Amino acid sequence: MSNVPVAVVTGSNKGIGFAIVRALCKQFQGDVYLTARDPSRGQEAVAKLQEEGLRPLFHQLDIDDLQSIRALRDFLKQKYGGLNVLVNNAGIAFKVRDTTPFAIQAEVTLKTNFFGTRNVCTELLPLMKPYGKVVNVSSMASSSALGGCSQELQQKFRSDTITEDELVELMTKFVEDTKKSVHEKEGWPNTAYGVSKIGVTVLSRIQARMLNEKRKGDHILLNACCPGWVRTDMAGPQATKSPDEGAETPVYLALLPSDADGPHGQFLSNKTIRSW
């Protein structure tokens, strides 16, 4: 088993994830895994970074596929005995002009952004080594979507006692409500992406709380963040930040020094804690 520290970035064959891998290759003292659901897109991305003189490693990972997540889990356990840095970056967004029915957009978006990210956490958080860092890439869209929720939902999403099961129930209810076209009546905002990212931000708050309760002595720091508005296939060429600039806050959180006791359980953008 290797004693080398190890970092994993999900959805890193392009966009912000790719830039996070680039930055970690330069700054993280250990092995950095670029992961992709499609191995050929992943290998191409690795080759691009190799041309820059960097040495990322590759592992397949489709966060929609539990088998794929578990294969990575088993690999990390066997080769490294755990994991030091996990960046949950993989995500999807339908384009504004996409005419796919809203209920389908809700189901597909929540499947990857919330349920996929949660499955990765369920399988990989138990592997986190002491002083490990977990970064869940959410979005400011989660804050604005929160503002668009009914008072009752806002209270639940801001609660310091909401459980993961309760959050899963709420995310499932959103998808069901869109199918019945009652989501607005039920207090939800009209954004599947925004709700999926509420899920990611609230999940992070819950996971940080659980770490405090169950593994306080391990000093693991877990946060959610927004990378900003970044020029990628998702956000388009008009966005204000380059992918490398978008990587800055996630990388800052992934590389917090071992003597830092925070941030933990926070939502940040531009390396600054935002209120939730």
Closest contact distance (angstroms) between CB of 12 and ligand NAP is: 6
Q: Which residues contact 186 (CB under 8 A, 6 or more apart)?
A: 150, 173, 177
Residue closer to ligand NAP, measured from CB, 132 or 199: 199
* Given 37, 73, 118, 183, the residue binding ligand NAP (CB under 6 A): 37
For residue 227, state whether it binds ligand NAP (rule: CB under 6 A): yes
Closest contact distance (angstroms) between CB of 25 and ligand NAP is: 16
Find, among 188, 87, 184, 170, the residue nearest to 128 by Cα: 87
Options 143-151, 206-214, 222-230, 253-261: segment touching ligand NAP (CB under 6 A): 222-230
Residue closer to ligand NAP, measured from CB, 124 or 235: 235
Catalytic positions:
193
For residue 226, state whether it binds ligand NAP (rule: CB under 6 A): yes
Binding to ligand NAP (CB under 6 A): which residues in 131-150?
Answer: 137, 139
Residue ranges binding ligand NAP (CB under 6 A):
10-11, 13-17, 36-38, 41, 61-64, 89-93, 112, 116, 137, 139, 226-227, 229-230, 232-235, 239
